[in-house]
Chains A and B, each alone.
Chain A
Amino acid sequence: EVQLVESGGGLVQPGGSLRLSCAASGFTFSSYWMSWVRQAPGKGLEWVANIKQDGSEKYYVDSVKGRFTISRDNAKNSLYLQMNSLRAEDTAVYYCARDRYCSSTRCYDYRFDYWGQGTLVTVSS
């Protein structure tokens, strides 16, 4: 059974930092791109960042570029999101989600097919 379990959320002051983790199990973690998606209270979903299977490519939504860093440790089946210079507008539930599978020649199944339960990040003084 595929499972994604996020941790690391909490209350942080504006300008502060937080590191989120996502522990994956039940599938070959190193074969998939992985993404972070967030949802502000009462608002819609927003894709935040993703990372290639081997960590060699990383992409971000414009609003977090230069402040957030996505990373992964395939040996530990874990995904991370380092969040610096946090702002009030970063307050949200952060979900990790399994992204697409890519072989050496093409990618398959563009979808977020498994999601964690989410971890709440609150940026407030």
Chain B
Amino acid sequence: QSALTQPASVSGSPGQSITISCTGTSSDVGSYNLVSWYQQHPGKAPKLMIYEGSKRPSGVSNRFSGSKSGNTASLTISGLLAEDEADYYCCSYAGSSTFVFGGGTKLTVL
């Protein structure tokens, strides 16, 4: 049950695209296409942005997309907006009904 590995911070200018990586192991990310991504603004509860690798919940902008290759999942945000500045967390199903989160990535919109 080790945390997934995310970069501590990423940044981009308005209009640009950024990608946040999430590296796990063959026991979690690599074994299941069940990675979800959450956005969290300061003092707020997390918000689901992507689930089951690449599915977008109703109401989430199509500027957010997810993918996976091997033991690494990725979240891409295109057309960056100031409101995208937040912390982002990945989460993977890890088998036996357990889940593991990543350490989180702080996105700064320059």
Which residues of A line the B interface, CB within 8 A? 33, 35, 37, 44-47, 50, 52, 57, 59, 61-62, 95, 109-113, 115-118
Q: Is the CB of B51 within 8 A of A109?
A: yes
A62 to nearest B CB, angstroms? Answer: 5
Chain A minimum-CB-distance residue to B105: A44
Contact B51 A110 (CB under 8 A): yes
**Number of A-B contacts defined by CB within 8 Å:** 64
Given contact pairs A45-B89, A95-B46, A112 touches B3 in the complex (Cβ within 8 A): no
Task: Assess the B96–A113 pair: CB atoms within 8 A.
Answer: no
What residues on A are CB-neighbors of B47 within 8 Å?
115
How does the 8 Å CB contact mask read for B66-96 relative to A, with 1 for contact and 0 for none?
A: 0000000000000000000000010101001
Q: Report which residue of A62, A95, A111 has the largest number of chain B beta carbons within 10 angstroms of its beta carbon.
A: A111
CB–CB A113/B51 < 8 A: yes
Whether B48 pairs with A113 at a CB distance below 8 angstroms is yes
Contact yes or no, B45 A118, CB < 8 A: yes
Please, how many angstroms separate the alpha-carbon atoms of A47 and B92 in the complex? 10
Measured in the bound complex, the distance between the Cα atoms of B45 and A10 in whole Å is 18
Are B101 and A110 interface neighbours, CB within 8 A?
no
| A44-B8 Cα distance, complex, nearest whole Å | 11
Q: Are B97 and A45 within 8 A (Cβ)?
A: no
| CB<8 Å pairs between A and B, sample of 20 | A33-B97, A35-B99, A44-B3, A44-B103, A46-B3, A47-B99, A47-B100, A47-B101, A57-B97, A59-B98, A61-B98, A95-B45, A95-B46, A110-B32, A110-B36, A111-B48, A112-B91, A115-B46, A117-B45, A118-B45
